Amino acid sequence: MLREGTGARSPAWRVWLRTPAARVGAVGVAVFVGMALLAPWLAPYDPNRIDLTRILQPPSAGHWLGTDQFGRDILSRIVWGARISLTVAVASLGLAAVAGILLGAVAGYRGGWIDEAVMRLTDVLLSFPDIMLAIAVTAVLPPGLPSVILAIGVYNLPQVTRVARGAVLSIRANLYVEAARAVGQRDGAIILRYVIPNALPPVVVLLTLRTAASILTAAGLSFLGMGIQPPTPEWGAMISEARVYLVTAPHLSLVPGMAIAGTVLAFNLLGDALNDALNPRARKALGRGR
């Protein structure tokens, strides 16, 4: 039998805190967000400050992660790069969340031709590989931060719409929704007050996982020269600039590569743990294991 306070009846946050992956992921995400928010105070140098007397220096006491081909401090550029990545992730996923939740909620609740039209649109977007869809959007826009945000927002839109619609399909037949209809509330009010709030948990899990993919895609676009442009300290652009120094100064590409890998891993661990915490069956299994 399950002990009191564990298993399927455990609060989601308690199950989440007992998961080692959640703790590791939360620490990694906290470090990433902390770097992004405190970049002006954490970075020891101006990230774009050029010092031609310190070109391609290895890690040292003065420059903990070394310097690049222009003598710029890599640690400072990594810290400021976290702010760029966080900005892209928050803005693009916010855009995808607002549009995707509204489209999915209306499609799932109303059904009929509206549902059919929204689902066919998502099928068209999903027919493109993720990175190809992002490249297609940035190809018709001038390179820069706004283009990357829009491209990654479009890239995440079909997944958010599908998950939101699936959650709404299971919610719209609940008694509280029927009761709201019976007392004469309009569909718009029902969707906003009852349907969308109860459809959010799976969307939140998806957005956490898509944060990792969004950061990776933004780095990929910058690496290809279609995203954030130098000298802005963006991790993918830093790796692109360091390609010609792989043998002579491997730290130039290794450090931003490790920053990307660590951040993506942290968000994936956090997303998996949130999925387990919000899934009653997973909570029950975890409770039996305690």
Name the residue among 208, 215, 197 with its Cα closest to residue 275.
Answer: 208
Q: What is the pLDDT of residue 182?
A: 81
CA distance linking residue 201 with residue 277, whole number of Å: 10
Asked if the structure places residue 166 within a domain, the reply is yes
Is the model's pLDDT at 281 over the cut of 60?
no
* Phi, psi dihedrals of residue 67, rounded to the nearest 5°: -130, 165
Q: For 112, left (φ over 0), alpha (ψ -120 to 50), or beta?
A: left
218 within domain boundaries = yes
pLDDT at 188: 81
Which region, left, alpha or beta, applies to residue 57 given φ > 0 means left and ψ of -120 to 50 means alpha? beta
The residue assigned the tokens 């959010």 is 200
Q: pTM for the complete prediction? A: 0.85
CA distance 32 to 27: 9
Is 38 inside any structural domain?
A: yes
170-205 pLDDT, tens digit per residue, is 888 777 788 877 887 887 888 888 888 888 888 988
Average pLDDT for 98-127? 91
Q: What is the pLDDT of residues 51-72, one digit of tens each?
A: 999 999 999 998 999 999 999 9
Selection from 46, 25, 33, 49 nearest residue 264 by Cα: 25
8 A C-beta contact, residue 176 and residue 113: no
Mean pLDDT of 70-99: 95
For residue 40, which amino acid is it? Answer: P
Total count of domains within the chain: 1
Secondary structure E strands in 87-141: none
Is 1 among the domain residues? no
pLDDT digits (tens, 9 = 90+) for 222-233: 999 888 988 899
Q: What is the per-residue pLDDT for 274?
A: 79
68 is a domain residue: yes
pLDDT at 137 over 80: yes
CATH number at residue 208: 1.10.3720.10
Question: Which domain range does residue 156 map to?
Answer: 7-288
Tell me if 2 is assigned to some domain. Answer: no
